Structure 1
Amino acid sequence: MLAAAGTALGACGDDGATPRDASPDTPAMCGGVTPFTGDIVDWDSTEASFCGVFGAKWTVRSDAACTSSTPPNGRFQLQIPRQPQTVVDIAPPAAASGCPGLGGMLYQLPGVAIASDAVIAGGGAFSARAMVQGRVTSMFTQIGQPLDTSRGQLVVHVGGTPRAVSISAGHAATQRFDGTSWAAGDTGRDVLFPNVDLSGGAVTVTMTGASVGTGSYTLEAGKLTYIAVIAN
């Protein structure tokens, strides 16, 4: 997360000296055959004020030897199995954020990325957003209720022209990121479904109109779950 360049290497290998728009080094095979790439950035990162998350560790759950630690631009690259969905655990960095204005706060919420083979095949981008502890407090104040770690937190990254996203389970007030800021709503580049009720099991994600990557996903309590969809 530090803004300064450094080295962050994983078993699937990233070069910590890469600039913001560069891709990580080509990874080792890690037992998988499908390239899964993307990034993890600060919750409020924009094109004009970009800030990647440095030092987040991505690990394929079915292959613990397959890991990637993000360089300062937040990029990751893994080789995953060719299957409908692959779960990747995201451990937050041990070091404090170096993003301007964050005062060295920590990213503390663990994450789970669920890679969709259909989205990868369709050329969809995968991008995750992480909150420092102070931003968790202000975000959930905006939502109108505190973070409930017994429930799930779902972030949907939308490729293509954003359209309304919804889920089958109960949740707190939906928030959307339009590329500049977060506000209430269900249509944006990223959509947050906070405090999702997990009592009904897997959650069905839907979108108005044709899409790729919608469907059933299993969320986990106390974690940010990230998925990507494509609006056709």
Structure 2
Amino acid sequence: MTRALDRLVREVRHCRRCVDAPDGAPLPHEPRPVLRVSATARLAVVGQAPGTRVHASGVPFSDPSGVRLRAWMGVGDAEFYDEQRVAILPMGFCFPGLGKTGGDLPPRRECAPLWRPRLFALLPQLELVLLVGLYAQRWHLGADCGATLGETVRDYRRLLARPGPPRFFPMPHPSWRNNAWLKRNPWFEADLLPELRREVAALI
């Protein structure tokens, strides 16, 4: 299993599908897939796609969003970046580029169907997957995903109770762009975060 996963990760790191055979316009820069994974990981963090800082560093969540995410989870850098315990598998492995308004473009459409089923099939120890943002929630929850991010996240208890493994825990993205949403939804900090921290602590 470990050797098969190592081979697959090497394939991912050398992937050029969004440049050489894109679904639409090609990626506007050289690919730099960013992921961290191990067959022993019991917890996975599934975000959107690397941003500009992560594209430059090659380290997932090495930006203010990552600082907030780790605070939400109740973990430090050493725990978060221990890939023997925590897998980090964004919906798109490469920075997708910037849109006209300056925000990041959505994850590339080629990435998830090409790699996700094969990767998750080689992660037998996964018990909990944090679905950070709507793209991750739509892919992994399917028909159980709500019409809006808020609807899905508010339903976290029911979604956690679905048969697993793994179980899925929906969350908003920790970007500053969601500050207004967080202010409108105080239950997130009061109710969801304590439950999230208990779940994470039990696994790592």
Name the structure with the higher helix share.
Answer: 2
TM-score, length-scaled by structure 1: 0.30
